[in-house]
Chains A and B, each alone.
Chain A
């Protein structure tokens, strides 16, 4: 009996994939912590990705209502635990704003030194783990080797490698130990030498470009609408950096520093440093650009630390002492956002005249940056999800607080 032949096109038409729900996380290496994503997929195509958060909620705000501002500093370390200095700074400056405190010049420049170093360390983790997400293991080792040197510097200055509690409302817990600045300068020199290697392994790597360019495109309007900030916002071509555009206390901190806000405007990035060219496949606002902004910020921060060291050497007098635990807060409110490595970290403090704040609030940058995930991952491939998520550079400790 002759076999009946079926037109292959008809067969294709007949085979339809079912919609499938895939649960990704909360324990999944590329969710960067305890994040759960519920993916609705049609074959390889993701039709929706819904983040579920809260697994790391530690009631930070409620605790803040029961301890004094000085005692809450260690809790801020544990929000973005990859950038403890910047978290300390945000809270310290908010309390200073409420109390109308000024810190000495030396304190200000020392704060810039440690915060920019911490920014470099945070971006190195972002770059290294992003390589891991995309299947490239080597850059991770390079990044962590360099980050280790920064952590050694921090250990020398405050005894801790991750949760520093170094910057406190009113000042700093200690001045630098002898010989620290020279060690820091050596470290910066070594860092600067590694950046071209990272560019070779990631930024201009053919596979990396194919995995990231044109993936997860976030328009500038949408970025602003969702309250995105930091490299996620600047990766979309919005020239906005609180170190330049922030409220007076934040902008004043950086007022005698020379730096360009890193974002692609009118088709080009600021030309104040050497960097590899933008590949033709990349679109402003895609994963590649978000990564690129971070890499350029590493070099920018190296420059800022160098300037800060000069300023620090020139400023006389001691560093300011932090406030006492029993220090009473004035009645009133203060809200301040600082430019943390991952975006704009905001703190609100409501004082009632006692030493314990009536209310504290932490506005997390990653919280807003993550909320845009559903929007930019619609219609992407399943394998693009780690690429998009990694490019947002989230830390769940800060999202869940």
Chain B
């Protein structure tokens, strides 16, 4: 199914919670409201003409320029983005779900933004959400076991945040 038709279908059902779409890009994407993620994902997976049965990847992208000199020419507005790459083996179509989040919940630095989990829909999401939590710092509400996966459990901070600063030492080991 064309992404344009998928968009129409989702708009009919979810109305204003579908925030936008980019159909011209190499990987067409649909932007949805963070709170609607689990519901939209369920429809995408279960609706027979859609049947997105395969979740490839979850990616967190941090859009902020910590360097004040370069911040003036920064091409994007400051936010955090989640990308879900989905495809359907049955119908051979692909889709990117895009979710825009504030960098920090309520603008309070250190408070991680939150989205609903989809690990109950695609088991792939279980480890991928843990990885995004670990490296990019997003909380997935309802995830059964949200803990770090690649970094040690007592690691501080989320390394793929653009303003991440490496700690000077880790358990007495110099890190630089």
Q: Mark B91-111, 1 if CB is under 8 A from A, else 0.
A: 010101000000000000000
Indicate the member of B61, B131, B149 with the most A CB atoms within 10 Å: B149
Most buried by B among A226, A245, A372, A401: A226
B25-78 contacts to A, CB under 8 A, are: 25-27, 53-57, 59, 61-63, 75-76
A240-B150 contact in complex given A350-B61, A358-B61, C-beta closer than 8 Å = no
- Per-residue contact bits, chain A 329-351, to B (CB 8 Å; 1 contact, 0 not): 00111110100000010101010
**Cβ of B160 and Cβ of A61 under 8 Å apart?**
yes
CB distance from B160 to the nearest CB of A (A): 6
Given contacts A335-B85, A361-B57, A361-B59, contact A371 B26 (CB under 8 A): no
Chain B residues touching A, range = 20 to 34
Least CB distance, A186 to chain B, in whole angstroms: 39
| Cross-chain contact of B61 among A238, A337, A359 (Cβ < 8 A) | A359
Q: Is the interface of A mostly helix, strand, loop or mixed?
A: mixed
In Å, the complex CA distance between A400 and B135 comes to 12
Among B25, B26, B54, B62, residue most surrounded by chain A Cβ atoms (within 10 Å): B26
Q: Which residues of the partner chain B approach A367 to less than 8 Å between Cβ atoms? A: 127, 131
Contacts of A59 in B (CB 8 A): 159
A62 and B159 form a contact (CB under 8 A):
yes
* B116 to A: closest C-beta gap in Å: 18
| A334 near B27: Cβ-Cβ < 8 Å | yes
Write the nearest CB–CB distance from B53 to chain A, whole angstroms. 5
A54 touches B151 (CB 8 A): yes
Q: Which residues of A contact B75 (CB under 8 A)?
A: 331, 352-353
| A53 and B149 contact, CB distance less than 8 A | yes
Which residues of A from 305 to 359 have beta carbons under 8 Å from B?
331-335, 337, 344, 346, 348, 350, 352-353, 358-359
Are A337 and B56 in touch, CB under 8 angstroms?
yes
CA distance A334 to B75 in the complex (A): 18
In the complex, what distance in Å separates the CA atom of A97 from the CA atom of B25? 11
Tell me whether A156 is interfacial, beta carbon within 8 Å: no
A240 to B89, CA, bound (A): 8
A-B contact sample (8 more), CB < 8 A, given A335-B83, A348-B57, A371-B124? A54-B151, A227-B122, A227-B123, A333-B83, A335-B27, A358-B61, A371-B127, A372-B123
The CA-CA distance from A308 to B151 in the complex, in Å, is 42
Q: List residues 39-95 of chain A with CB under 8 A from any CB of chain B.
A: 53-54, 57, 59, 61-62
The residues in A between 226 and 263 inclusive whose CB is less than 8 angstroms from any CB of B are 226-227, 238, 240, 245, 247
Contact between A363 and B127 (Cβ–Cβ < 8 Å)? no
Report how far A227 CA is from B123 CA in the complex, Å: 8
Q: Complex Cα distance A224/B135, Å?
A: 25
CB distance from B167 to the nearest CB of A (A): 14
The answer to whether A245 and B92 have CB atoms under 8 Å apart is yes
Q: What's the minimum C-beta distance from B165 to chain A, rounded to whole angstroms?
A: 13
Binding site for A on B (CB under 8 A): 25-27, 53-57, 59, 61-63, 75-76, 83, 85, 89, 92, 94, 96, 122-124, 126-127, 131, 135, 148-152, 159-160
Contacting pair A363 B56 (CB below 8 A): yes
Q: Which of B27, B55, B63, B75 has the most CB of A within 10 A?
A: B27
Docked pose: A81 CA to B4 CA in angstroms: 40
Give A108 to B89 CA distance when docked, in angstroms: 26
Q: List chain B residues, Cβ under 8 A from A372.
A: 123
State in angstroms the CA–CA spacing of A337 and B27 once bound together.
12
- A281 at interface, CB cutoff 8 A: no
State the A residues within 8 Å of B (CB). Answer: 53-54, 57, 59, 61-62, 97-98, 222, 224-227, 238, 240, 245, 247, 331-335, 337, 344, 346, 348, 350, 352-353, 358-359, 361, 363, 367-368, 371-372, 400-401
Q: How far is the CA of A344 from the CA of B124 in the complex (A)?
A: 13
State A400–B150 Cα separation when bound (angstroms).
Answer: 7
A208–B83 Cα gap in the complex (Å)?
43
CA distance A193 to B62 in the complex (A): 52
- 7 CB contacts below 8 A, A to B, read A54-B152, A59-B159, A226-B124, A333-B26, A359-B59, A371-B126, A401-B150
Closest to A375 in B: B123
A97, A225, A245: the one within 8 Å of B124 (CB): A225
A344 touches B159 (CB 8 A): no
CA separation between A226 and B159, bound complex, in Å? 26
Rounded to whole angstroms, the CA-CA distance of A222 and B55 in the bound complex is 13
Q: Which residues of A contact B131 (CB under 8 A)?
A: 367
- B150 touching A54, Cβ below 8 Å: yes
Residues from chain A with Cβ under 8 Å of B89 in the complex: 224, 238, 240, 245
A368 to B135, CA, bound (A): 17
User: A335, B57: Cβ atoms under 8 Å?
Assistant: yes
How far is B26's CA from A359's CA once the two chains are assembled, in angstroms?
Answer: 17
What residues of A have a CB within 8 angstroms of the CB of B57 in the complex? Answer: 335, 346, 348, 361, 363
* Cross-chain contact B25 with A332 (CB below 8 angstroms): yes
Cβ A368 vs Cβ B150 within 8 A: no
Q: Return the chain A residue nearest B26 by Cβ.
A: A334
Give the nearest-CB partner of B145 in chain A. Answer: A50
Closest to B152 in A: A54
Instruction: Decide: A61 and B123 in contact? CB cutoff 8 A.
Output: no
Is A227's CB under 8 angstroms from B152's CB? no
